Structure 1
């Protein structure tokens, strides 16, 4: 455990009507206590979970387009609008880690290729020994997790399931387990995946209903909707399709 608390610096906010404070969950944030080495952020699209995760990444010194402290490249509109308004409390402070932003991972992979063109030696070593563009989307994500991720670090992941099949999500859970139990790592993950959310003992913060609150796995929409769909697939689809007619 490294990052202990995230606090909104309300004294710096001049208006709650503009983004990102127009997001109800962000506007209601006082402070978030993090008491687990695996923490999930869940909520509907636009609920603020990625906005807060990106702000944490910025205050960690990571590239908000995706990467660590030493990955310097630009992606349009990758900067955080919230970063300067939050305060992070650490014990102890760490500088090692990585921010995975699924939507701009292609740009990160291109950045690694450009580093290879410059030095021809080390840039692929942390990614399975070859270009991320020469691997499938899912393979490139797993190469990152298996080769770049090491102990004594904090990892911030925004929708890592975007490239992972259900089977590969299970593989990621094993990597997560190994890094947290043997590698002294901390993870904060924004996700829609009911598989990832099932990781035992994790803390889950919901950003729905205009506030950030801790919930149990079985209380998440991800679990409830997935379970209902699997148990009542024909009725579920019939009800949805008939509503649209």
Structure 2
């Protein structure tokens, strides 16, 4: 390998952002200013007292609902200069003031290599970002319409999944920094596989991704760093150790047995009558089935 080629490869391996951590002094000041301990009481946020290393290409955050994935994604995005509701670093719209103070309290380690472009894709507010694009395009301007860089067709005139993929295909460029918060919410399994291909294509050209997801398909990206967010904080894990993989695999291998366990005790009852204890017991059984299947395999 030539010296020039080696230097090019090494530059590609250097992440735009190598780690993130919580600044304790800023966090304390933010709580004093707002009188609100949230989000600093979240175990995943408290765990950021120690630096969290990011993969040069793909880092995943996984965890149950309420574990803090979206809060963490928003905080990292804001710390990197993105709008809390999504978009590029130039987007500055607010439809609902619900941004936490986390972004102002994070330190991020940027390398000398700067991304050519970037985007924060937030599934829950993507509709608002699409509306903001149309609002900007209604204003007089000498530059081409912004929607041209998204494929030229209104994102509102496409299905949720189509508009997501239009963004990825047209707006994402090489050597970019991309933060995706639960992108699978709008995508069919086939479209998720297409997204995996797009992620791979961009990583081969020097891009970096941070993704919060529940999708066992997306989590299969080879070589990715996966962080599990839980009541214990943040732990690095493997694809096969994630509950998303284990439960999905167990269900697909034994759908009837899994459904029988899940529906146990519901016959003769009324909607809403089942207790949370019964549900927890059923889910625990599904997890046990997954564990048994792995041992058998």
Query: Which of 1 and 2 has greater Rg?
Result: 2
Give me the TM-score of the superposition, normalised by structure 1: 0.94
Deviations along 1:143-197, one digit per CA (max 9) or x if unpaired, are 0001101122210000001110000000001100110102x11000000000000
Which residue of 1 is the match for residue 136 of structure 2?
A: 115
Judge conservation of contact 1:58–1:80 (CA < 8 Å) in 2: no
1:18 has 2:18 as partner = no
Gapped regions of structure 1 (runs ≥ 5): none
Q: In structure 2, what is the Cα distance between the partners aligned to 1:42 and 1:87?
A: 21
Following the alignment from structure 1 to structure 2, what is the Cα–Cα distance between the partners of residues 81 and 90?
A: 21
TM-superposed CA distance for 1:28, in Å, is 2.4
Q: What's 1:41 paired with? A: 61
Whether 1:101 aligns to 2:115 is no
| Counterpart in the other structure of 1:5 | 19
Q: Secondary structure at the match of 1:212?
A: strand
Picking from 149, 169, 186, the partner of 1:146 is 169
Q: Which range moves more in the overlay, 102-111 or 74-83?
A: 74-83
Establish whether residue 236 from structure 1 lines up as the match of residue 258 from structure 2.
yes
The residue that corresponds to 2:196 in the other structure is 173
Identify the match of residue 130 of structure 1 among 141, 153, 156: 153
| 2:233 maps to which of 185, 200, 211 | 211
Assess if the C-alpha contact under 8 Å between 2:62 and 2:226 holds in 1. Answer: yes
Alpha-carbon distance in 1 for matches of 2:153, 2:85: 21
Q: Among residues 96, 119, 125, which one is paired with 1:76 in the alignment? A: 96
For 2:167 and 2:191, how far apart are their aligned partners in 1?
A: 13
Higher RCO (Cα < 8 Å, 6 or more apart): 1
Secondary structure of residue in 1 paired with 2:38: coil
Measured against aligned partners, the alpha-carbon deviations of 1:187-222 in whole angstroms (never above 9, x if no partner) come to 000000000000111110110242111100000010
**2:47 — aligned with what?**
28
| Counterpart secondary structure, 2:59 | strand
Corresponding residue pairs, total = 244
TM-score, normalising length from structure 2?
A: 0.78
